[in-house]
Structure 1
Amino acid sequence: MRLSLIITTVLLIMTYSTAYALTAEQIIRKAEQAAYYAGDDGSSLARIIIVDQQGRKLMRQFSLLRKDVIENGQQTGQQNLLVMFSRPTDIKGTVFRVEKSNNIEQDDNRWLYLPGLDLVKRIAASDKRTSFVGSHFFYEDVSGRSTLLDNFELLDSSGENYLIKATPKQPESVEFSHYTVQIHKQNFIPVTIDYYNQDNKHYRRVEAIQIETLQNHPTVTRSKVSDLISGGYTLMEFRNVQYDIGLPDSLFSERSLRYPPSQWFK
């Protein structure tokens, strides 16, 4: 009788676990939320260290502001970002602005202000997977790739991470054939993202090197992108990360490209 009860209990637990198992799409959306939508807004100071295949280094320093679009108390998936560079001198005052869409039929809007030319340059959708200010990060890495652009398949969930394969819905629009992402089961932070080209060669990796819990939000404070073909890589480090600081909507405007408000960029 006791053995029968134990077996029945185990079967019930297994049935319950299977019924409530997360799908690949649910896992990916939780990962997107954890990586890009923690809090209603946020700010941080950051620097990127670019290392080429010969070991030569370049450094960029910037401030980042982010605010989610909230409607009826809920996040819509739309988001505004503003990035201003302070170092080195040759790119000081350069500003990157993003309006993220939540519609697969509408591309995110991205602009770059170049102070030396006093020029606002719109970044075309075809350029979103090009180098972010000379680094191994892409513009899309900084603002995030929409989960609506790919199909997802859960490959493995046996370890401490979920392993998911993503295949682009419009393969002609990107340089990769697919990528795999490992997502931590506890905090849903993407730990590694591995990209494969049309010849199925592993050519690029994005890694979360350091994760800290700040204001109850798991936060990547150090990440790395590696070019596995050339051997170069870029490190990105964040400090003074703050969430829910009450950024005004007016901050994320065309005017802020040329005249970024100094009180928010410290």
Structure 2
Amino acid sequence: MKNLFWGLSILLLASPSLFAETLTDVNQIIQKSNLASYYAGDDGRTQARMIIVDSQGNKQMRQFTILRKDKADLGDQEMLVFFSRPSDVNGTVFRVTKKVNSDDDRWLYLPALDLVKRISAGDKRTSFVGAHFFYEDVSGRNPAEDNFTLISSDNGLYTIKAIPKDLTTVEFSWYKAEIDTKTFIPMKVTYFNEKDEAIRQMQVLDTQVIDGYTTVMHSKIIDLTNDSFTEMQFRGVQYNLGIEDNIFSERSLRTPPKQWLR
């Protein structure tokens, strides 16, 4: 699974650490960051845990396994998220068919109801199973939805301002991405409202190089309006496993592929 964000993270953030030159073309930077964040290897698997903390300090936990397979670099992509803990979400499955040239398809399987619920495009920026991560954070925001301006390239970071092309589809007015100049991983993304007040922020807290890819192992999204947050931690990250195409189907929602979840 790829890096949790070009929006989470969501969800493996990974990148070949091969780029050293300082770039000036903002679209080239965004392309490399998208590649680094979501397209490590041809496929991937990771175990993940989210700790959700509300404004009163109360905590919840979500534990799950993510499978991901690319159809092409910077192209369409398949993803499955299988929840195992706690018991009230055990068996829940989130499925994404990521599309570059149209809206992504997203489904949520609810085992208690034996129901496959389609998540509409209008709900992509709503909470992912009660966390501060949104559905779009998990599968990634399409760069074609924003206009980008390079603000600066110093202190090892490209600082980029992004303005959505359609403000009616999002809860923010613009965001600032701080991207590592060597790995092209977005290390911090801050969202602002129409008053230029910071309302939400994604932070990368830890990375490791796995199979040559800089991989985000710990990230955090904060609601800056009330200081509540969700932390995401990864372990057992693997790439290029040869996951079969037929795994990414509706059948896997009700009958999870146990050989890929061990």
Normalised to the residue count of structure 1, the TM-score between the two structures is 0.89
Q: Which position in structure 2 is the counterpart of 1:62?
A: 64
Q: Which position in structure 1 is the counterpart of 2:33?
A: 31
- Is 1:47 aligned to residue 52 of structure 2? no
- Is 1:177 aligned to residue 162 of structure 2? no
What is the CA–CA distance in structure 1 between the aligned matches of 2:154 and 2:227, rounded to whole Å?
31
Cα deviation 1:163-218 (Å, max 9, x = unaligned): 00000011111111000000000111000000001222100000111011000000
The one-letter amino acid paired with 2:107 is: W
Q: Which position in structure 2 is the counterpart of 1:212?
A: 208
The one-letter amino acid paired with 2:112 is: G
Structure 2 counterparts to residues 1-266 of structure 1, below 5 A:
21-70=23-72, 75=73, 77-103=75-101, 106-266=102-262
The one-letter amino acid paired with 1:247 is: I
Report the CA distance between 1:47 and its aligned residue. Answer: 0.4
Cα deviation 1:93-140 (Å, max 9, x = unaligned): 00000000010xx20000000001110000000100000000000011
SS in 1 for 2:183: coil
Count of aligned pairs:
242
The one-letter amino acid paired with 2:202 is: V
Q: Which has the larger radius of gyration?
A: 1
What is the CA–CA distance in structure 1 between the aligned matches of 2:211 and 2:152, rounded to whole Å?
31
Structure-2 change in CA distance of 1:183 and 1:20 (3 Å): closer
Report the CA distance between 1:76 and its aligned residue. Answer: 5.0
Cα deviation 1:41-73 (Å, max 9, x = unaligned): 000000000011111110000000000003xxx
Normalised to the residue count of structure 2, the TM-score between the two structures is 0.90
Q: What are the ranges of 5 or more consecutive residues in structure 2 without an aligned counterpart?
A: 1-20
The one-letter amino acid paired with 2:195 is: D
Percentage of pairs with the same residue: 53
SS in 1 for 2:154: coil
What is the CA–CA distance in structure 2 between the aligned matches of 1:175 and 1:230, rounded to whole Å?
16
